[in-house]
Chain A
Amino acid sequence: MNKDIVACFPQWGSYSCAFRYLFENGFGVKYMTPPPLTKKTIEIGSKHSPDYVCVPFKYCLGCHIEALEKGANCLMQIFGACRLNYYGELEEKILRDLGYDFKFFNMAEINFRSPRSILEHFKIVNPNMSLVKIIKSLPTTINIIKTIDKMEDYIRKNAGFEKDKNALEDTFNEFKEKLNKTQNTKQYKKLKKEYTKKLKSIKINKPHHPLRVGLVGDYYTVQEPFSNYFIEKELENMGIEVYREMNLTNTIINSKYKNSRKTGKRYVKFDIGATANYTVAEALKYAKNGLDGIIQVKSFGCTPELNAQTVLQSISRDYKIPILHFSFDSQTSETGIKTRLEAFYDMMQAKHK
């Protein structure tokens, strides 16, 4: 392993466990688990970002600066079907202007049809990488992602009803900590088995018909708890079963949303950008399944989600399901968010009875 190269991907849910596995076992470089997002991260990020860029960019930039300060020297950024495609380029420029020295792996620049282009970009991370090793480490990386998503899904649906508060989350955090030390598939499999069992053995006291809420929104905001003010946790604490389908497994690995445009055809026939069609398809599914409410979280200025917002209102009317919209930027007051969530809860509760 080349210990001089320290790679870091911006904080994104719990996925750093999977990325670490890929980089350490596949690319053969050190991986830095990004420092957890804090108010300071967003302060740094906002300071160096263009004012009207969406807030996920600010989080990524802030996170990268913190990682660079801690010794990371190989950063990366993904691509997407919205402004996200330019973010890598912009981020690199801002960081270089600030005087940092690092390698930058911008996935938006890869031509995925050309194996040579892929190989060249992989070499940015580690010039001596072995393609065989990367390919070998991929299945386990994917499995780790799937496991994380599966466990998180279970936690979302049950954390509101556990007998010992936080037992599920504590167990899951323990799992992630241990996962960060696994070196091969065998160790991972053992760990997975052990913790799946542990999670299932935690006592849950769920009523027959609990309140159920579906969470939709833009790709980053809905998946990164810090950026949505831990809305899932707030809901769980109210004793609500939380549904959220947007994750890596469903979007990229299984491409469950391949038919999202077809599913939502009645409401929107064309592509409305980024993951907004998923948002519509998901909301429609929640509405059809009779959930008590839907919450849309988005970053302020996210155009695709803004497109989806109007469509969601039609769904809300047709299926008589309340929808709450949140638009987040770098503000820090949570009072307003709590007020709206409480009122939403009261409303669902009154209707549920």
Chain B
Amino acid sequence: MKGYLGIDIGSISTKGVVIDEDLNIIASEYLWTEGDPMGAVKRLLKVLEKQLSNKDIKIVSVGTTGSARKLIGVMTNASVVKNEITAHAIGTTTLHPDVNTIFEIGGQDSKIIIIENGYVTDYAMNTLCAAGTGSFLSSQAHRLGVSVEEFGEIALKSKHPTNIAARCTVFAESDLVHKAQIGHSKEDIIAGLCKAVVTNYLNNIGKGKKFNPPIVFQGGVSKNVGVKKAFEDAVGHEVIVDKNGHLMGAFGVAVLAKNSKIEKDFSFDIVDTEFRTTGFDCPKCANHCEIVCVFKDNKLIDSWGNKCDNGAVKVN
């Protein structure tokens, strides 16, 4: 049977999904990128291969998304390399065709996607600042000595969430330390933090937008029930969290790979192939473009980063 692989390589986590021709998820994995997208994808593929070992699936097409989509696209010989906004929109509208609003909070970015009649009509993504994203929550969890996985459960226990400044993580952090030192309980602070994340999100990304239900909340942070509840309190509607919400980007790009009808050779053997990247500053003008070269078994397969033809590194 034909299978389609979607990989979403984010800054914090790497997600992989294999779907069959009826768009059922037959294998999936979620793991940390740890600053090494190529290594993470190799680990990911090993796990997926194992999950597929007793099924008769041949992967005919690969799609990549996320911030390392281009690099991994070259590595896996992908048919589709798509930005994460479109990938998420496609993934969610496939599973929830009636969705009107998508909230998404990931490790380093957060976005909102507005959908009308199945088409994206508006979106926004955080720009200069990573306030209120997953990495902020996990660093604060660490500071409070709780693991980020139990964060949400603890938040639900609170009756009076502490007020924490939402504008900026630096302010939020000093607020948090201060409130802890004057005696606010841990539950209240954690609940306050969840609320601050939501307030920040709605004020920045969601500014000027209308949140029409049904609302789907996804991305790594959607697994945090405390943030989900804070969203429901703030918006006044039910917020749906799909059990595969954290995989939606990978699922979306797998669907795109299937719809593209482009079939390319793919084999799990690339796990054992050596991939290497080198970067250098092009010396040909004062612009100093940062050029990246990708090598497969010491053979150059692609390069990018040059703004003009002078800096082009030719692939033979």
Q: Which residues of A are at the interface with B, using a C-beta cutoff of 8 A? A: 35, 38-41, 230, 300, 310, 313, 316-317, 320, 322, 326-327, 329, 331, 335-336, 338-340, 342-344, 346-347, 350-351
Question: Do the beta carbons of B288 and A38 come within 8 Å of each other?
Answer: yes
- List chain A residues, Cβ under 8 A from B77: none
Known contacts A347-B120, A351-B119; A340/B208 CB under 8 A = no
Known contacts A40-B286, A351-B119; A340/B86 CB under 8 A = no
The 3 closest A-B pairs by CB, nearest first: A343-B85, A38-B286, A313-B208
Cβ contact of B288, chosen from A35, A39, A350, cutoff 8 A: A39
Question: Do the beta carbons of A351 and B121 come within 8 Å of each other?
Answer: yes
Known contacts A320-B121, A351-B121; A343/B128 CB under 8 A = no
Cβ contact of A322, chosen from B85, B122, B207, cutoff 8 A: B122
- List chain B residues, Cβ under 8 A from A350: 119-120
Question: Do the beta carbons of A347 and B121 come within 8 Å of each other?
Answer: yes
Alpha-carbon distance between A280 and B22 when the two chains are bound, in angstroms: 47
Besides A343-B83, A343-B85, A346-B83, 16 other A-B contacts (C-beta < 8 A):
A38-B285, A38-B286, A38-B288, A41-B286, A326-B127, A327-B128, A335-B67, A340-B85, A342-B86, A346-B82, A346-B120, A347-B119, A350-B119, A350-B120, A351-B119, A351-B121
Question: Do the beta carbons of B125 and A340 come within 8 Å of each other?
Answer: yes
Question: Do the beta carbons of A39 and B67 come within 8 Å of each other?
Answer: no
Alpha-carbon distance between A289 and B209 when the two chains are bound, in angstroms: 23
Mark B271-299 against chain A: 1 for CB-CB distance below 8 A, else 0.
Answer: 00000000000000111100000000000
Question: Do the beta carbons of B128 and A329 come within 8 Å of each other?
Answer: yes
Question: Do the beta carbons of B122 and A316 come within 8 Å of each other?
Answer: yes
Question: Do the beta carbons of A40 and B208 come within 8 Å of each other?
Answer: no
Q: Shortest Cβ distance from B114 into chain A, in angstroms?
A: 9
Q: Closest chain B residue to A327 by CB distance?
A: B127
Alpha-carbon distance between A54 and B224 when the two chains are bound, in angstroms: 38
23 pairs, CB–CB < 8 Å, chain A vs chain B: A35-B286, A39-B286, A39-B288, A40-B287, A41-B286, A313-B207, A313-B208, A322-B121, A329-B128, A336-B125, A336-B127, A338-B83, A339-B83, A339-B85, A339-B125, A340-B83, A340-B85, A342-B83, A343-B85, A347-B86, A347-B119, A350-B120, A351-B121
Q: Closest chain A residue to B307 by CB distance?
A: A230
Counted as pairs of residues, one from A and one from B, with CB atoms less than 8 Å apart, the total is 65
- List chain B residues, Cβ under 8 A from A336: 125, 127
- List chain B residues, Cβ under 8 A from A327: 127-128
- List chain A residues, Cβ under 8 A from B125: 336, 339-340, 343
Whether, in the assembled complex, B123 has its beta carbon less than 8 Å from a beta carbon of chain A, the answer is yes
Q: Closest chain A residue to B111 by CB distance?
A: A343
Question: Do the beta carbons of A40 and B288 come within 8 Å of each other?
Answer: yes
Tier of interface size on chain B? 20 to 34
- List chain A residues, Cβ under 8 A from B285: 38
Q: Closest chain B residue to A339 by CB distance?
A: B83
Q: Shortest Cβ distance from B302 into chain A, in angstroms?
A: 16
* Chain A interface SS verdict (over half): helix
Q: Closest chain A residue to B69 by CB distance?
A: A339
Alpha-carbon distance between A63 and B83 when the two chains are bound, in angstroms: 35
Alpha-carbon distance between A338 and B286 when the two chains are bound, in angstroms: 23
Known contacts A339-B84, A339-B85, A351-B121; A38/B128 CB under 8 A = no
Q: Closest chain B residue to A41 by CB distance?
A: B286
Contacting A at CB under 8 A, from B185-225, are: 207-208
A40, A230, A346: residue with the most chain B Cβ atoms closer than 10 Å: A346
- List chain A residues, Cβ under 8 A from B287: 38-40
Q: Shortest Cβ distance from B256 into chain A, in angstroms?
A: 10
Cβ contact of A346, chosen from B86, B207, B286, cutoff 8 A: B86
Alpha-carbon distance between A340 and B126 when the two chains are bound, in angstroms: 10
- List chain A residues, Cβ under 8 A from B127: 326-327, 336
Alpha-carbon distance between A310 and B208 when the two chains are bound, in angstroms: 8
Mark B120-157 against chain A: 1 for CB-CB distance below 8 A, else 0.
Answer: 11110101100000000000000000000000000000
Alpha-carbon distance between A92 and B286 when the two chains are bound, in angstroms: 25
Q: Shortest Cβ distance from A66 into chain B, in angstroms?
A: 9
Known contacts A38-B286, A339-B84, A343-B85; A300/B121 CB under 8 A = no
- List chain B residues, Cβ under 8 A from A351: 119, 121
Question: Do the beta carbons of A343 and B288 come within 8 Å of each other?
Answer: no
A41, A338, A340, A347: residue with the most chain B Cβ atoms closer than 10 Å: A347
Mark B79-112 against chain A: 1 for CB-CB distance below 8 A, else 0.
Answer: 0001111100000000000000000000000000
- List chain A residues, Cβ under 8 A from B67: 335, 339
- List chain B residues, Cβ under 8 A from A300: 128
Alpha-carbon distance between A335 and B11 when the two chains are bound, in angstroms: 13
Alpha-carbon distance between A75 and B286 when the two chains are bound, in angstroms: 22
- List chain A residues, Cβ under 8 A from B128: 300, 327, 329, 331
Q: Shortest Cβ distance from A146 into chain B, in angstroms?
A: 29
Alpha-carbon distance between A94 and B286 when the two chains are bound, in angstroms: 23
Alpha-carbon distance between A346 and B93 when the two chains are bound, in angstroms: 15
Q: Closest chain B residue to A351 by CB distance?
A: B119
Alpha-carbon distance between A316 and B83 when the two chains are bound, in angstroms: 23
Q: Shortest Cβ distance from B6 into chain A, in angstroms?
A: 16
Known contacts A38-B286, A40-B286; A343/B86 CB under 8 A = yes
Q: Shortest Cβ distance from A305 into chain B, in angstroms?
A: 14
- List chain B residues, Cβ under 8 A from A339: 67, 83-85, 125
Alpha-carbon distance between A339 and B83 when the two chains are bound, in angstroms: 6
Question: Do the beta carbons of B119 and A343 come within 8 Å of each other?
Answer: no
- List chain A residues, Cβ under 8 A from B123: 343-344, 347
B84, B285, B307: residue with the most chain A Cβ atoms closer than 10 Å: B307
Alpha-carbon distance between A313 and B121 when the two chains are bound, in angstroms: 13
Q: Closest chain A residue to B65 by CB distance?
A: A339
- List chain A residues, Cβ under 8 A from B84: 339
- List chain B residues, Cβ under 8 A from A38: 285-288
Alpha-carbon distance between A40 and B288 when the two chains are bound, in angstroms: 8
- List chain B residues, Cβ under 8 A from A35: 286
Mark B294-315 against chain A: 1 for CB-CB distance below 8 A, else 0.
Answer: 0000000000000100000000
